[in-house]
Amino acid sequence: SNALMWFRRDLRTRDHTALYHALRAARQVHCLFVFDPALLAPLPADDRRVAFIHASLAALGEALHAAGGQLWIARGDPAAAVPAAVRALGADALFFNHDYEPAARRRDATITAALTAEGCAVRSFKDQAILERDEVLTGSRRPYSVFTPYKRSWLQTAASARAFDPWPSERHLDRLAPRAGVVPDAASTDAACDFLAPRLPTLAELGFAAARAPTAGGEEAALRMLEDFEPRIDDYHRTRDFPGLAATSGLSVHLRHGTLSVRALARTAYAAAQSARARAGAETWLSELAWRDFFFQVLHHHPRLVEKDEHRAFRPEYDAIQWETGDAADDDFAAWCEARTGYPLVDAAMRQINQTGFMHNRLRMVVATFLCKDLGVDWRRGEAYFARQLNDFDLSANNGNWQWAASSGCDAQPWFRIFNPLTQSAKFDADGTFIRRYVPELAALDNTAIHAPWLAKAGVLARAGIELGRDYPHPLVDHALARERTLERYAVVKSAR
Ligand code: FAD
């Protein structure tokens, strides 16, 4: 038999479920990646994600090449391009890994139905998640909506199902269809895709420019980052909340595109947890991987959360909240996006995402809460902004976490819990390291004034050569007043109960 392995969010050769099964089942395995113009069209020419995917595909192509194989690249609507590639390469089976996003699920169902009707076998696998779909359910067989009991059950199930075990695809690469000798039948791809080629087009050929600051793509780069992180696991539980430290793994972009297996991460955490020194850190880190699965399954069971015509709060009573609208709200939202709120930690965080495509988790919580609870702006606007900016943008984690901040989500922060941005700043960036890195115009301020320059004595600002309104903005809102307004705004939630 002759299989086609369709790569999507799994751009690697090691510990790869669908690739492993394809290599074991078929005599020969062809490999394919499809650029979907509908996904690419709305992106800016210098989109960092496209550059990351491109670099990762180059690395994947090289790894397949080194094993004697070939990565085929197509461009077109996958619903037509994938069946066309199956025909052109003479495959009789298609392999891919599960995706949990509603649009991807519809696409995969369409392709599966079309190919099955033609007599082509279609097989798909769990790979992105440790545990997926219905694998973790409550005693009454319903999906969990609270994280702590979910995690308990997740840990038990993962251990008993050996869900961390690798699928050693890399050991069977000799089954890849040889590079030479495969001549696709061009007629079958004519109407279905712009091209089906044995080489990766350049970014320019795809209509993109080199990106601003891409994280190094590809499997080898991901493995190096994991190695680099390993010694830091020991202290992770103590250090992960401090954006000034390089305490977290930074691996989210690799997990997003599957340049690293999530099982490999979980095995690393498990191995580290065997030593008393690293146990607390490793267990906390493993919890974060459980959060990732938690949000995948929330989206899987509640696709309405992200469907364009709905895009609802997980808790329906929160859809009654009246967010600020009109020019003032638009101006506040623009100030938030452009790091002009006058709150140094918020602005430093927004500069981090704008400049690098990454933002530290603590800061994501701070700026998201600030947008919906200090500025009264609808969380969906922030969610959409993050979706455009984040290298690790993932529909389920982004939606789940934004709804956490807005208090409308599954196991969210209570609506009356409103982060004080100044307390957060003083606690998690006490010596101003992070603020100074991204807001250098405030660098000369002392460790008190740097969190709230407008509260500093005039002399302190003058000595640092700073004039508010000229060198750095006045604060956009008074937190105490904003807090009162937010409690009133959210009162509809209480009365709906
Ligand atoms: P580490 O601390 O090293 O954690 C390891 C991995 O665990 C991460 O790479 C990530 O895959 C997973 N993880 C950690 N925290 C979470 C979490 N709260 N929810 C789900 N998974 C988690 N993460 C995304 O991957 N994509 C997003 O689009 C995204 N949007 C977010 C939006 C908001 C408002 C907030 C508050 C958080 C969001 N997160 C998102 C979660 C989290 O901020 C990032 O996963 C984390 O900062 C990535 O850094 P790291 O790889 O160094 O994480």
| 57 shares its domain with 11 | yes
Pocket test for ligand 1, best of 245, 252, 381 (most atoms within 8 A of CB): 252
DSSP element (H, E) containing 365? helix 361-369
Q: How far is CA 466 from the centre of its chain?
A: 38
Instruction: Give the mean model confidence (pLDDT) for residues 189-203.
Output: 93
Quickly count: other Cβ atoms within 10 Å of residue 133's Cβ: 15
The Cα 490–Cα 406 span in angstroms is: 10
Predicted confidence band at 494 (pLDDT cuts at 50, 70, 90)? confident
Predicted confidence band at 183 (pLDDT cuts at 50, 70, 90)? confident
pLDDT of 430 higher than 60 = yes
Q: Which pLDDT value is given to residue 393?
A: 98
Question: What distance in angstroms lies between residue 125's CA and the mean position of ligand 1's atoms?
Answer: 24
70-74, 171-175, 188-192, 227-231: which range is least confident on average? Answer: 188-192
Instruction: Give the mean model confidence (pLDDT) for residues 454-467.
Output: 96
| 42 shares its domain with 101 | yes
pLDDT of 177 higher than 80 = yes
Residue 154 falls within a domain, yes or no? yes
130 CB within 6 A, ligand 1 = no
| 123 shares its domain with 133 | no
- Strand pairing of 28-35 and 71-75? parallel
| 286 shares its domain with 392 | no
Q: Residue 9 belongs to what domain range?
A: 1-128
| 334 shares its domain with 381 | yes
Burial class (CB in 10 A: 0-12, 13-18, 19+), 283: middle
| 142 shares its domain with 242 | yes
ipTM of the complex: 1.00
Question: What distance in angstroms lies between residue 405's CA and the mean position of ligand 1's atoms?
Answer: 14
Question: What distance in angstroms lies between residue 485's CA and the mean position of ligand 1's atoms?
Answer: 30
The Cα 343–Cα 65 span in angstroms is: 51
> What is the Rg, in whole angstroms, of the alpha carbon atoms belonging to the chain?
24
Quickly count: other Cβ atoms within 10 Å of residue 146's Cβ: 11
The Cα 399–Cα 404 span in angstroms is: 8
| 358 shares its domain with 473 | yes
Ligand 1 atom closest to residue 229's alpha carbon, by position in its atom list: 3
Residue 124 falls within a domain, yes or no? yes
| 410 shares its domain with 421 | yes
Residue with tokens 């209570």: 414
Which CATH number characterizes residue 459's domain?
1.10.579.10
Question: Are the beta carbons of 215 and 391 closer than 8 angstroms?
Answer: yes
Instruction: Give the mean model confidence (pLDDT) for residues 111-126.
Output: 98
Instruction: Give the mean model confidence (pLDDT) for residues 269-279.
Output: 96
241 CB within 6 A, ligand 1 = no
The Cα 357–Cα 359 span in angstroms is: 7
- Taking only the tens place, the pLDDT of each residue in 67-101 is 999 999 999 999 999 999 999 999 999 999 999 99
Residue 188 falls within a domain, yes or no? no
Closest CA to 178 of 28, 328, 41: 28
pLDDT of 9 higher than 70 = yes
Instruction: Give the up-direction half-sphere exposure of residue 184: CA atoms within 13 A in the CB hemisphere.
Output: 27
Predicted confidence band at 214 (pLDDT cuts at 50, 70, 90)? low
The Cα 344–Cα 489 span in angstroms is: 26
Residue 107 falls within a domain, yes or no? yes
- Taking only the tens place, the pLDDT of each residue in 367-405 is 999 999 999 999 999 999 999 999 999 999 999 999 999
Question: What distance in angstroms lies between residue 215's CA and the mean position of ligand 1's atoms?
Answer: 16
Question: What distance in angstroms lies between residue 241's CA and the mean position of ligand 1's atoms?
Answer: 12
Closest CA to 350 of 260, 249, 243: 243
364 CB within 6 A, ligand 1 = yes
Distances in Å between the Cα of 430 and the Cα atoms of 88, 473, 475, 479 are 60, 21, 19, 19
The Cα 497–Cα 493 span in angstroms is: 7
pLDDT of 496 higher than 70 = no
| 251 shares its domain with 293 | yes
Instruction: Please state the φ and ψ torsions of residue 281, each to the nearest 5 degrees.
Output: -65, -45
Ligand 1 atom closest to residue 262's alpha carbon, by position in its atom list: 11
Residue 181 falls within a domain, yes or no? no
Residue 284 falls within a domain, yes or no? yes
Instruction: Give the mean model confidence (pLDDT) for residues 428-435.
Output: 98
392 CB within 6 A, ligand 1 = yes
Question: What distance in angstroms lies between residue 390's CA and the mean position of ligand 1's atoms?
Answer: 11
Predicted confidence band at 310 (pLDDT cuts at 50, 70, 90)? confident
Quickly count: other Cβ atoms within 10 Å of residue 94's Cβ: 25
361 CB within 6 A, ligand 1 = yes
Question: Are the beta carbons of 125 and 24 closer than 8 angstroms?
Answer: no
Residue 138 falls within a domain, yes or no? yes
402 CB within 6 A, ligand 1 = yes
pLDDT of 497 higher than 80 = no
**DSSP code for 201:** P
Which residues lie across from 318 on neighbouring strands? none
391 CB within 6 A, ligand 1 = no
Residue of higher predicted confidence among 312 and 9 = 9
Smallest CA separation from ligand 1 atom 14, residue: 288
399 CB within 6 A, ligand 1 = no
| 102 shares its domain with 152 | no
Pocket test for ligand 1, best of 288, 352, 372, 411 (most atoms within 8 A of CB): 288
Give the sheet arrangement for strand 93-97, strand by strand.
Answer: 121-125, 93-97, 2-7, 28-35, 71-75, 195-197
CB contact burial 435-470 (16+ within 10 A = b; e otherwise): bbebbeebeebeeebbbbbeebeeebbeebebeeee
Residue of higher predicted confidence among 406 and 308 = 406
Instruction: Give the mean model confidence (pLDDT) for residues 182-188.
Output: 87
Instruction: Give the up-direction half-sphere exposure of residue 121: CA atoms within 13 A in the CB hemisphere.
Output: 12
Residue with tokens 């550059």: 51
Question: Are the beta carbons of 369 and 402 closer than 8 angstroms?
Answer: no
pLDDT of 127 higher than 60 = yes
- Please state, for a pLDDT cut of 90, what percent of the chain lies above it: 93
Q: Which pLDDT value is given to residue 425?
A: 98
Q: How many domains does the chain fold into? A: 3
Question: Are the beta carbons of 288 and 248 closer than 8 angstroms?
Answer: no
| 331 shares its domain with 405 | yes
Residue 339 falls within a domain, yes or no? yes
Closest CA to 21 of 113, 99, 96: 96
Domain end residue (candidates: 72, 101, 128): 128
Question: Are the beta carbons of 71 and 60 closer than 8 angstroms?
Answer: yes
57-71, 176-190, 192-206: which range is least confident on average? Answer: 176-190
The Cα 357–Cα 372 span in angstroms is: 21
Burial class (CB in 10 A: 0-12, 13-18, 19+), 143: middle
- Taking only the tens place, the pLDDT of each residue in 13-41 is 999 999 999 999 999 999 999 999 999 99
Write out the two tokens for 303.
Answer: 């696709």
Residues classed as catalytic: 288, 291, 323, 361, 379, 402
| 20 shares its domain with 94 | yes
The Cα 465–Cα 468 span in angstroms is: 10
Which CATH number characterizes residue 122's domain?
3.40.50.620
Q: Which pLDDT value is given to residue 215?
A: 84
pLDDT of 213 higher than 60 = no
- Please state, for a pLDDT cut of 70, what percent of the chain lies above it: 99
